[in-house]
A and B are shown apart, each in its own frame.
Chain A
Amino acid sequence: MERLNIDDQGVLSMIDAVLFGIIILLVTMLIFQQFGGALTRERDLASSEFRREVVHDIQNVALKSTIEETGYVNLSSNQPEQVRLVNVSVERAIKDYLYLDHISQEKQALSYNLSNLEEEIKQIYERCAWDVSQYHFALRSSYETSELFLSNVEGTDTEQDIPPGRAASTASITLRLQRVEVSLFIWR
């Protein structure tokens, strides 16, 4: 009687091929993950560089822009007095706002309505950030007891309301020998 040998070489080759396939697929997934991650990081870096450049430009131009005519109302005396400011830079307008707001809080006898000044500063930033570059913005600056916070988005009243994906630029100005920071945040 002849013994029949079972030749299992074909099955073994099949197992080898499937193993090869699994290894190749794992390598492919690894390559996908590595390159995808690297690409996302590179794209994020490029877009943050882009926004950093934009926010820096907006801040520089806005601070150097000129407000043709603005002013505030001095409510300290019985007769409200309208104070006109002609051809003032935004930087100067911010300083005036912060200083007048601070002294009106310090001295009970002094009172000012600064809404016009605040509105003009906001309009300049809106033109630079929104009209030109299509970015929402928020501006924050403080001096002693006063704080200026402006935004073109309703409901954005404090720094905590600004979305996390924002870009920021801080410029330093000097007010009565004190360094004051003006921070601009932009986002889409």
Chain B
Amino acid sequence: MRAKIKNDRKGIGGFFFDIPVLLVIIVVITVFTTSIYQVYVPIREERKRITQDRTCIELKNSVQNYQEIHAEGKEKFSMEKLEVLDEERLESHLKLDPNYDYNISLNVLERDESWSFGENAAKEEISEVDLSSYQTPVLLVDEGGSSHISKLRVSVWRG
């Protein structure tokens, strides 16, 4: 009994033996948590970006399907109708997620004419990196019935 008590150093030595083990476990758990966080953050950002890009395409499709601005066919918009477009009615047609702001602009390529609806991204100091934008050609029909190739740009960003 006496000898056993004399040789048992677990109470002191055992604790010191465990310190490197604890350090290894702490380092491993820290590395693991940091790595998961490092992976999770870009994934979350990328997912948000993909959702935003999809919202942008949906918005473009809604604009193309908005009959109030059509001249003839889905690809042709009337300049006259754009001049008198009611922005509130357009907004209610677009049914955009309230978390997003948007801008829709139309520019006639060979003429100095343009229309813009929604928020102004430049004014709100939204950088191009945070924007999802989609540029597509459309045909704008003037008063004389001639069609002009124009640029439709739809931009979406988190408000």
Contacts and interface: CB of A to CB of B under 8 A. Distances in A.
Contacts of A127: 109, 137, 149
A21 B26 CA distance: 10
A10 B18 contact: yes
A185 to B, nearest CB: 16
A13 B35 CA distance: 25
10 contacts: A4-B7, A7-B9, A17-B21, A31-B35, A39-B46, A43-B50, A49-B54, A64-B73, A132-B109, A132-B149
Main secondary structure of the interface of A (DSSP, over half): helix
A24 to B, nearest CB: 5
Contacts of B146: 66, 68
Contacts of A132: 109, 135-137, 149, 151
B7 A16 contact: no
**Interface centre among B28, B32, B60, by most A CB within 10 Å?**
B28
A20 B151 contact: no
Interface residues of B, number: 44
Contacts of A61: 75, 136-139, 149
B29 A24 contact: yes
B147 A28 contact: no
A68 B147 CA distance: 10
Interface of B: 3, 7, 9-10, 13-14, 17-18, 20-21, 24-25, 27-29, 31-32, 35-36, 39, 42-43, 46-47, 50, 53-54, 57, 60, 73-76, 109, 134-139, 146-147, 149, 151
Contact of A42 (B50, B76, B147, B151): B50
Given A50-B53, A57-B136, A124 B149 contact: yes
A135 to B, nearest CB: 10
A46 interface: yes
A14 B109 contact: no
Given A9-B17, A53-B57, A60 B25 contact: no
B39 A35 contact: yes
Given A46-B54, A61-B138, A17 B31 contact: no
A186 B159 CA distance: 32
Interface residues of A, number: 45
Interface string A65-78: 11010000000000
Contacts of B35: 28, 31-32
Contacts of A46: 50, 53-54
A85 interface: no
A25 B43 contact: no
A117 interface: no
Given A16-B21, A127-B137, 17 more contacts: A2-B3, A17-B21, A20-B24, A21-B24, A27-B32, A28-B35, A42-B50, A50-B53, A57-B75, A57-B137, A58-B136, A61-B138, A61-B139, A62-B137, A64-B73, A132-B137, A132-B151
Contacts of A171: none
Contacts of B43: 35, 39
Nearest to B153: A132
